[in-house]
């Protein structure tokens, strides 16, 4: 088929205009590799999604490499540790002591905003509000993508396709069922989260295990706090008044912290289900899956955005080596290398979730084991070091 008037060519077609797709596009641009990003929603919609805000140093370094880290360094909060509470007990895991590395608290929305600004400044091609995306010939030497924008049919001929379109996107589904294997654990609870224009209760995150369920005290900045409580999957955000949320949060954190908590009207309230999910392989021919398209983690370990970043790191380096040196080692080894790190992040998120939440089928023995696990972590430096290494991010 010849190229029609509305058809374009690029080196890498990127499906998904969230942070992973934008970061990959910007990194490729910096080394002279062309890409086009396809996004199902509008830019305003993408920027309106409230997501995590704990960044590993690996992601920070990728943003520096992409030329998108100035605002992060100016406005982000360096966290050298985190707090873990159970009942009225609370202890601190010192990241810098155990690893020499902090994390940075900077909202995913702000990361995405910075990446959009960089792509626009570079004249990067992004098509918004795309529908009917279909991947063709991913297992051939001439893949292409067809889609529509406001009823107009378009086609992109490309060398490679990066599927950065999330759990519900088309990219994973394009890999034949007979070739992919999916692993999943669905957790029997959700997280009710609110955003409020109030000062954080603590300058570091507090993860709390209580007999009433899990709670997390987080923040975006000095006057923007993010709080979560474990809730039933049958709950709806409108079931919870702000007052009911604040009262429940206070019951789940140590009394000393509850007394300091500044409450106020919520400006956003939502419930997120929790799941662990991995699909293998992450590559089929010239199609590569990145981020949520290939794997999901429960948010307990703050790994969602960070695991997407490690995928981008491996894929970017593989594509750069292909175009610069003609070597396929990086892209051929992409899936295996990415999955090795993903499974370790999945293990950490599963372990941390298991230790901090109340499960409906827990026995008295199980509850005692949770406390023993927390006591061991509180008193054992080796256990703290292992947790710190995982939390700040395992090496790429």
Domain 187-274+358-392, CATH number (from 3.30.9.10, 3.10.20.340, 3.40.250.10, 3.30.360.10): 3.30.9.10
Please list the active-site residues.
79, 207, 299, 303, 391
Classify the C-alpha dihedral 73-221-78-309 as positive or negative.
negative
Cβ atoms 312, 295 nearer than 8 A: no
Q: What are the backbone angles phi and psi of residue 91, rounded to the nearest 5°?
A: -140, 165
User: Which class would CATH give 7-76+104-183+275-352?
Assistant: alpha beta
Task: Please give the model's pTM, rounded to 2 decimal places.
Answer: 0.94
Beta-ladder partners of 283: 288
Beta-ladder partners of 55: 104
What span, in angstroms and rounded, lies between the C-alpha atoms of 333 and 246? 48
What span, in angstroms and rounded, lies between the C-alpha atoms of 322 and 333? 12
Do the bridges between strand 81-86 and strand 206-209 make them parallel or antiparallel, or are there none, so unpaired? parallel
Q: Which residue has the tokens 């919870």?
A: 240
- Those residues of the chain that have pLDDT short of 70 are 1-5, 50-52
Domain segments of the chain: what residues?
7-76+104-183+275-352, 187-274+358-392
Is the fold of 7-76+104-183+275-352 the same as that of 187-274+358-392?
no
Burial class (CB in 10 A: 0-12, 13-18, 19+), 179: exposed
Going by C-alpha positions, the residue among 176, 161, 192, 372 that lies closest to residue 270 is 192
């Amino acid at each position: 088929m010849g190229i029609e008037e509305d058809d374009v060519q690029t080196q890498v077609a990127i499906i998904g205009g969230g942070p992973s797709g934008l970061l990959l596009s910007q990194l490729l641009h910096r080394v002279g590799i062309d890409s086009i990003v396809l996004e199902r929603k509008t830019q305003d919609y993408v920027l309106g999604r409230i997501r995590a805000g704990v960044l590993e140093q690996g992601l920070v370094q990728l943003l520096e490499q992409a030329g998108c880290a100035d605002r992060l360094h100016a406005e982000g909060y360096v966290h050298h540790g985190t707090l873990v509470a159970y009942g009225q007990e609370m202890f601190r895991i010192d990241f810098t002591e155990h690893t020499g590395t902090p994390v940075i608290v900077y909202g995913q929305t702000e990361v995405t905003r910075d990446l959009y600004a960089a792509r626009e400044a570079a004249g990067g091609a992004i098509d918004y509000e795309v529908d009917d995306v279909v991947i063709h010939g991913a297992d051939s030497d001439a893949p292409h993508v067809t889609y529509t924008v406001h009823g107009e049919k378009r086609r992109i001929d490309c060398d490679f396709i990066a599927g950065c379109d999330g759990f519900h996107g088309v990219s994973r589904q394009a890999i034949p069922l007979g070739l992919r294997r999916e692993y999943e654990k669905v957790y029997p609870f959700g997280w009710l989260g609110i955003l409020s224009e109030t000062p954080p209760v603590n300058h570091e995150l507090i993860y709390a295990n209580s007999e009433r369920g899990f709670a997390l005290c987080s923040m975006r900045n000095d006057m923007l706090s993010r709080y979560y409580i474990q809730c039933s999957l049958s709950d709806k955000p409108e079931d919870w008044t702000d007052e009911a949320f604040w009262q429940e949060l206070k019951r789940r954190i140590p009394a000393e912290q509850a007394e300091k908590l500044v409450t106020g009207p919520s400006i956003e309230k939502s419930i997120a289900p929790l799941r662990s999910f991995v699909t293998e392989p992450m590559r089929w021919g010239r199609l590569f899956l990145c981020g949520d398209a290939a794997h999901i983690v429960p948010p307990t370990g703050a790994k969602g955005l960070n695991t997407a970043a490690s995928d981008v790191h491996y894929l970017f380096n593989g594509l750069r080596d292909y175009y610069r040196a003609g070597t396929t080692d990086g892209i051929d080894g992409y899936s295996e290398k990415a999955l090795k790190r993903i499974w370790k992040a999945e293990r950490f998120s599963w372990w941390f979730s298991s230790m901090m939440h109340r499960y409906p089928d827990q026995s008295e023995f199980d509850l005692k084991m949770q406390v023993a696990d927390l006591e061991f972590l509180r008193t054992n430096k080796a256990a703290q070091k292992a947790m710190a290494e995982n939390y700040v991010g395992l090496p790429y």
